[in-house]
Amino acid sequence: MVHWYFDEKVAAERMRETQQVADRAQALGLHRRVEASGWQRLRMRIGARLVSLGQRLQQRDAKRRSDLPSPSQCGLR
């Protein structure tokens, strides 16, 4: 029943080795951040604006719902 301990040790060692390889590659300049192309920037901008528009619409919808009278506020005829 001690197998899980060794599995965790092996997994931790592999993660450590992977991190060292990534650190070396970054130090050598092999792993660079690539800037987004014009189309990607445009898509990100449009997406951000759509998200903000959706949030404004949700807020406006929530305000409208709160203005509606509930049945308890209406007088009985």
Per residue, the 3-state secondary structure of 14-66, as one string, reads HHHHHHHHHHHHHHCCCCCCCCCCHHHHHHHHHHHHHHHHHHHHHHHHHHHHH
Residue-wise pLDDT for 39-63, tens only, equals 888 888 999 999 999 888 888 877 7
Please check the confidence at residue 23 and state whether its pLDDT lies above 80: yes
Pick from 16, 19, 37, 17: which is nearest to 27 by CA?
19
Task: Show me where the domains of the chain are located.
Answer: 1-31
Question: What is the reported pLDDT for 49?
Answer: 92
d(CA 46, CA 42): 6
Please check the confidence at residue 31 and state whether its pLDDT lies above 70: no
- φ, ψ of residue 76 to 5 degrees: the values are -80, 140
